[in-house]
Chains A and B, each alone.
Chain A
């Protein structure tokens, strides 16, 4: 197998991985840091895509669309957190009810977008400036895919910086470990959690808006991506952005080369990877031990 084949397959896998990471990054924030089992994360991804579709139709500008996707999904996420998720916190078996509640969100959001936008597929165009492709020798990569790879890197660095180097980030981390204590220190924990939920769903919305030029927007597309995102979050270690990035790349590349060498089984490889990882590392690859790290 020639070198350029490996390179182009690797780059293809990387761009798949980065979109996967974009979706999973919001989930790792919700799931790992805010400790909310948000099954509906995919639905916010789908909402982001629809909002950006709508905004682009109105303003004919891709970037406004991306912004609308992120802000729209984030606002809806925050409203749902304040109206519902917050109100069941502290209840016995909170986690189980979070599953039930967020699954209900999936059902309602799916029908909601069908009601508003109809059952027909939607798609949006890439922005003019990113529509081309970069060709180096025999290797081609579309500019937009390169842009997605860069965006993924920007998000992971930003998230890492905010979470571990800013006051806000430290409050968030602390609140995720010991809510009561942080509350007693005078921090409005429920406000922090609402904001966190809003940011995480906005990240889901942004991922949807970014994926929309490459994919199809339709009711039901949200729930299709949730399992893959969960795999990434769990392999990478809950709440760990660098871990999620690594896991996304692992899944993306295993798939990319699986398609070359085991095309029959490629669609099952992500599950196989998770089984292997969890059997050998029972808490994912990069889970921090509780309490060991100083916050």
Chain B
């Protein structure tokens, strides 16, 4: 299967599957699908940093929570009509914050970068919990209003799907652009990128800012989904969950992370219905994936496709 075909197939699958949800008359399925696209945007933008650039941030939940709280607090204070411009404000705020935190943390390498991003996110989480007058603390914010035309599960799903699709398209273009190639180069051999006369730090910072910006948009979208947000969105288990889903789906593929998200969310829903030992089953499935599918779920599908197409391993491409 050649790359163009794979690209077309993936995009069509995405549009058909999630666009097709509009015709499904099941509120819960729509709600689950909305969660998948929103968390999917989070995971794919995280993967720009992780899978592409090779930077494992353990603190991207900071931006997810930031997006949710900027949107939620503005809409709660000024009313539902202000929801949309609050959502537009989110990328700006996120970029400003990412610029500062990125400049501080990207000077560090490997695990030290990872731990510093973790510490920043945990600090913001702690402040959100403690600053009652401003953030309502760990009670979270409920009943966040949104504009009339977004009310109802289906309407909001359509909105979220459209926003996510636009964001994914932008990220996709970026992924395929020369800039995206430089990021891959940074992952594989930063010294060589440096020798090419490119500023590694500046490119990393740009990747960090872009990734954080789209993560925050995902958070902002989440604020409107249930109208209920919570400091949990900042905490390390949130960042960790996204890391797991990304690896599970396949970090070397553009759409891999959203597949990981879908599998996770659906498993939690399906397994949670029948047993309280859901975490055992999810853990067991994760082990199976790790042991048998060394390139994540997408990787194994590619191997299958490769068998039929008699082509080499098309890793790294879509």
Direct contact of A and B (CB under 8 A): yes
The B-contacting residues of A in range 74-95, CB under 8 angstroms, are 84, 87-88, 91-93, 95
Contacting residues, chain B, for A92 (C-beta < 8 A): 294
Query: Which one of B28-36, B151-159, B168-176, B275-283 is at the interface?
Result: B275-283
Classify the interface of chain B: helix, strand, loop or mixed.
helix
Known: A271-B122, A271-B123. A104 touches B112 (CB 8 A): no
Contacting residues, chain A, for B104 (C-beta < 8 A): 279
Contacting residues, chain A, for B225 (C-beta < 8 A): none
Query: Which one of A52-60, A107-115, A177-185 is at the interface?
Result: A107-115
How distant is the Cα of A93 from the Cα of B107 in the complex, in angstroms? 22
Contacting residues, chain B, for A104 (C-beta < 8 A): 282-284, 286-287, 290
* Nearest B residue to A268, CB-CB: B126
How distant is the Cα of A111 from the Cα of B112 in the complex, in angstroms? 31
Classify the interface of chain A: helix, strand, loop or mixed.
helix
Known: A87-B291, A91-B294, A101-B290. A282 touches B112 (CB 8 A): yes
A161 to chain B, nearest CB (A): 26
How distant is the Cα of A252 from the Cα of B107 in the complex, in angstroms? 27
How distant is the Cα of A100 from the Cα of B250 in the complex, in angstroms? 12
**Other-chain contact of A112, B107, B115, B130, B280 (Cβ < 8 Å):** B280
Contacting residues, chain B, for A93 (C-beta < 8 A): 247, 251-252
How distant is the Cα of A115 from the Cα of B280 in the complex, in angstroms? 10
**Other-chain contact of A268, B107, B123, B252, B280 (Cβ < 8 Å):** B123
How distant is the Cα of A268 from the Cα of B231 in the complex, in angstroms? 15
Contacting residues, chain B, for A160 (C-beta < 8 A): none
Q: Are A105 and B244 in contact (CB under 8 A)?
A: no
How distant is the Cα of A272 from the Cα of B119 in the complex, in angstroms? 7
How distant is the Cα of A227 from the Cα of B114 in the complex, in angstroms? 12
How distant is the Cα of A17 from the Cα of B22 in the complex, in angstroms? 55
Binary CB contact string for chain B from 252 to 290 against chain A (1 if under 8 A, 0 otherwise): 100000000000000000000000010110111011011
CB of B201 within 8 Å of the partner chain: no
Q: Are A99 and B119 in contact (CB under 8 A)?
A: no
CB of B227 within 8 Å of the partner chain: no
B40 to chain A, nearest CB (A): 18
CB of B116 within 8 Å of the partner chain: yes
CB of A231 within 8 Å of the partner chain: yes
Contacting residues, chain A, for B116 (C-beta < 8 A): 274-275, 278-279
Q: Are A284 and B112 in contact (CB under 8 A)?
A: yes
Contacting residues, chain A, for B162 (C-beta < 8 A): none
CB of B248 within 8 Å of the partner chain: yes
Q: Are A103 and B111 in contact (CB under 8 A)?
A: no
* Nearest B residue to A282, CB-CB: B108
* Nearest A residue to B108, CB-CB: A282
The B-contacting residues of A in range 218-232, CB under 8 angstroms, are 227, 230-231
Q: Are A100 and B244 in contact (CB under 8 A)?
A: yes
Known: A227-B118, A268-B126. A84 touches B108 (CB 8 A): no
Binary CB contact string for chain A from 100 to 136 against chain B (1 if under 8 A, 0 otherwise): 1101111110111011000000000000000000000
Q: Are B290 and A100 in contact (CB under 8 A)?
A: yes
* Nearest B residue to A91, CB-CB: B294
Known: A87-B291, A278-B119. A100 touches B279 (CB 8 A): no
Known: A84-B287, A107-B282, A284-B112. A275 touches B120 (CB 8 A): yes
Q: Are B112 and A271 in contact (CB under 8 A)?
A: no
Q: Are B283 and A278 in contact (CB under 8 A)?
A: no
CB of A211 within 8 Å of the partner chain: no
Q: Give the one of A91, A227, A272, A283 with max B CB within 10 A.
A: A227
Binary CB contact string for chain B from 196 to 215 against chain A (1 if under 8 A, 0 otherwise): 00000000000000000000
* Nearest B residue to A85, CB-CB: B290
CB of A1 within 8 Å of the partner chain: no
Contacting residues, chain B, for A107 (C-beta < 8 A): 279-280, 282-283, 286
How distant is the Cα of A279 from the Cα of B108 in the complex, in angstroms? 8
Binary CB contact string for chain A from 264 to 289 against chain B (1 if under 8 A, 0 otherwise): 11011001101100110011100000
* Nearest A residue to B279, CB-CB: A107
CB of B18 within 8 Å of the partner chain: no
Contacting residues, chain A, for B122 (C-beta < 8 A): 227, 268, 271
CB of A97 within 8 Å of the partner chain: yes
* Nearest A residue to B240, CB-CB: A103
User: 9 smallest A-B Cβ distances: which pairs?
Assistant: A107-B283, A111-B280, A104-B286, A108-B283, A268-B126, A107-B279, A104-B283, A271-B119, A274-B119
Could you list some 15 contacts between A and B, CB below 8 A? Answer: A91-B294, A97-B294, A99-B243, A100-B244, A100-B289, A105-B283, A106-B283, A108-B280, A238-B111, A268-B130, A272-B119, A274-B115, A274-B116, A279-B104, A282-B112
Apart from A104-B287, A274-B119, list 8 A-B contacts with CB within 8 A. A84-B287, A104-B283, A107-B286, A108-B287, A111-B279, A231-B119, A268-B130, A271-B123
